[in-house]
Amino acid sequence: MLNPSYPGRTPAIKEQIVEMSLNGSGIRDIARVLQVSTRTVIGELKKTRSAQSSQ
């Protein structure tokens, strides 16, 4: 993807979501700071958790 229309789809934002949650930021706070929806934040955290539990 050269120019994604929604910033929540970029790998950099996905990494920031995980890092911010590990540092104690809440879902709504992460969504507000990164300008993505709360559904995006929750979905990415669920994906990260399922990937870690399968290892």
Residue 45 lies in a domain: yes
Number of domain units in the chain = 1
Please give the pLDDT value at position 24.
97
Q: Provide the residue range defining the domain that includes 46.
A: 7-53
State the DSSP H helix or E strand holding residue 27, giving kind and residue range, or none if neither: helix 27-34
Structure token digits, residue 40: 């995006």
**Residue 21 CB burial class (10 angstroms; 0-12, 13-18, ≥19):** middle
Residue 36 forms part of a structural domain: yes
Indicate the pLDDT class of residue 54, thresholds 50, 70 and 90: confident
Q: pLDDT of 43-53, one tens digit each?
A: 999 998 888 77
User: For residues 55 and 52, what is the distance between their CA atoms, to the nearest angstrom?
Assistant: 5
Asked if the structure places residue 1 within a domain, the reply is no
Pairwise CA distance, residues 44 & 8, whole Å: 9
Is residue 37 domain-resident? Answer: yes
pLDDT tens digits for range 2-52: 566 788 889 999 999 999 999 999 999 999 999 999 999 999 999 988 887
